[in-house]
Amino acid sequence: MEELRQPIILGSVLFYMVLCIGIGLWAMRKTKSAGDFFVAGRSLGPIVVGLAVFSSSLSGFGFVGGPGLVYSTGLSSVWMSTVTAFGFAIGFFLIAKRIRMIAEVRDTLSLPDIVAARYNSELARGLTGATILLGVLGYMATQILAMAMVLKALLSATPMFGDISLVTCAVISTSVLIFYSVTGGIIASVYTDLVQGSIMIVAGILVVITAANVFDGGMTEVSQTIFADDPEAIMPFGTVGAVGVLSWFFLFGLGLAGQPHIITKMMMNRRIEDNKIILPMSMLGYAVAVLLWVSVGLVMRAVVVGDMLTPLEAADQAAPVFLSEYAHPLLAGVVFAGLFAAIMSTADAFLNIGAAAVVHDIPKAVRGMAMKAELTSARWATVVISLIATGFALYAHYGSGQLVALLGAFGWGTFAAAIVPIVVIGLNWKRATRPAAITAIVFSLAINLAFQLFGWSLPYAMHPGFLALLVSMILFILVSLATPEEKISSDIDRIMGL
């Protein structure tokens, strides 16, 4: 079986890609309007939405970056994962119901539509759309680069594709992504998410079982081996220390509810009551993925500090090396397909909200109406965003990574700092005002950009996104109180009272 390892892995990845193309073709027949393309006509069942929320919230980071972070810093990043129990709860308690209601009453297609409805402000709509578009380009570039590098690593190990270039791998993987995202829009995206989420859960469970059996003494022996080398690494705050991990806890706990690709999915379920199934589904999937992330990282740290394996060239190799050293070839095949699934499920979600920003949100903010032939325009926008992001990804690899890093500044931390106050608090507090919303967005962009541009860092490894979110939330409340109370549209006012 061992000699078949490479063909099994490649076959699994190929099968997965063909499946995505098939789903794209199937979804194309169901996509007849911009509403279908962006919010699936608000007709999805709870299991589909639940797995879509989970799989799009966990990108390639959960399969590659997460284990790498545990390998490098010990238990520190566990705080990023345990807090998701609070993060998902905040999202569902505070906004899932209201967003679904506004989507139905106002026929909204995107998060900026919700923001415009709440604040009666085209400026707030435009700023939210622009923030999303910039963040999407940065995110997409990193996801495409990750897909291309994994595919190159897999193909270059075979005699037939030994010399394959990164550009070719980027073209192959992006083509699959573009195909199903263009043909089937969000319907293809969420149904591929269903497949992707299922693969990730199965892969996660099998990997955790494998990891727990690498040492005869199980996870206790893993912990003891790490403790013998550096006790702090296996203590609650890991090597990063208490302040750094608490800044992650704050940012990821409060910020998860501010991620536009997750919030947008809250518009898509058929019935509001489905939320009581969607939340536990999302939590279950995330819990399994977190177990994979933590267990693989810890096992790899233990085998290296315990001199059972030579040190890795880079921390991000923790998961691939674990799979090649300890996993059965069939499991490695499932996990590599799961890795592509994790990357693509996040990328397609971002692609969809980016296309909405281009053809719907920004034109509406600037000239009062969306682009004509919105469905066709959305498909073209999807292609253009993918191509620009692929260009950024390759430029980052072969040239300077600064551009992608800058765009990345508009990613997770900025989404959290900009969107949590204006949406999560704003949809639950009638006293929140338009100037406060605009102040929160502007400050969140400014703080995150300043840290990137000037290369600033905070003491004790505090995350800059934590500071941006904290300042933005405080400013939002204080500016709201300092500015005159505003009249809210009667329908939104009634929804906020429910």
Site for another protein in 236-295 (CB under 8 A): 236-244, 246, 249-250, 253-254, 272-273, 275-276, 279-280, 283, 287, 294
Give 7 or 217: the residue with its C-beta nearer to another protein: 217
The minimum distance between CB 18 and another protein, in angstroms, equals: 36
The pair of structure tokens assigned to 319 is 């998961």
String of contacts with another protein for each residue 100-129, x by CB under 8 A: -x--xxx----------x------------
Give 7 or 491: the residue with its C-beta nearer to another protein: 491
String of contacts with another protein for each residue 449-468, x by CB under 8 A: ---------xxxxx----x-
Question: Does residue 481 belong to the site contacting another protein (CB under 8 A)?
Answer: yes
Q: Where are the alpha helices (DSSP H) in 75-165?
A: 78-82, 84-91, 97-106, 111-119, 122-155
What is the total count of residues that contact another protein (CB under 8 A)? 96
Cα 285 from Cα 289, distance rounded (Å) = 6
Going by C-alpha positions, the residue among 250, 362, 290, 272 that lies closest to residue 46 is 272
Cα 330 from Cα 328, distance rounded (Å) = 5
| Sole binder of another protein in the list 21, 47, 90, 438 (CB under 8 A) | 90
Going by C-alpha positions, the residue among 436, 438, 473, 469 that lies closest to residue 451 is 469
Enumerate residues 349-408 that contact another protein by CB under 8 A.
none
Cα 60 from chain centre: 9
| Sole binder of another protein in the list 51, 292, 353, 425 (CB under 8 A) | 425
Enumerate residues 58-77 that contact another protein by CB under 8 A.
71-75
| Sole binder of another protein in the list 93, 161, 380, 395 (CB under 8 A) | 93
3-state secondary structure of 33: coil
Give 117 or 140: the residue with its C-beta nearer to another protein: 117
CA dihedral 135, 140, 146, 152 (to 10 degrees): -160
The pair of structure tokens assigned to 409 is 């500044």
Find the part of the chain contacting another protein (CB under 8 A) among 33-41, 87-95, 151-159, 336-344: 87-95
The minimum distance between CB 129 and another protein, in angstroms, equals: 18
Give 96 or 151: the residue with its C-beta nearer to another protein: 96
Cα 40 from Cα 60, distance rounded (Å) = 25
Question: Does residue 219 belong to the site contacting another protein (CB under 8 A)?
Answer: yes
Cα 446 from Cα 163, distance rounded (Å) = 43
Question: Does residue 232 belong to the site contacting another protein (CB under 8 A)?
Answer: yes
Contact 51, 260 (CB under 8 A): no
The minimum distance between CB 392 and another protein, in angstroms, equals: 26
DSSP 399-447: S-SHHHHHHHTTSHHHHHHHHIIIIIITTT-TT--HHHHHHHHHHHHHH
String of contacts with another protein for each residue 186-215, x by CB under 8 A: ------------------------------
Cα 395 from Cα 290, distance rounded (Å) = 32
The minimum distance between CB 163 and another protein, in angstroms, equals: 28
The minimum distance between CB 360 and another protein, in angstroms, equals: 16
Q: Is the dihedral of CA 164, 165, 166, 167 positive or negative?
A: negative
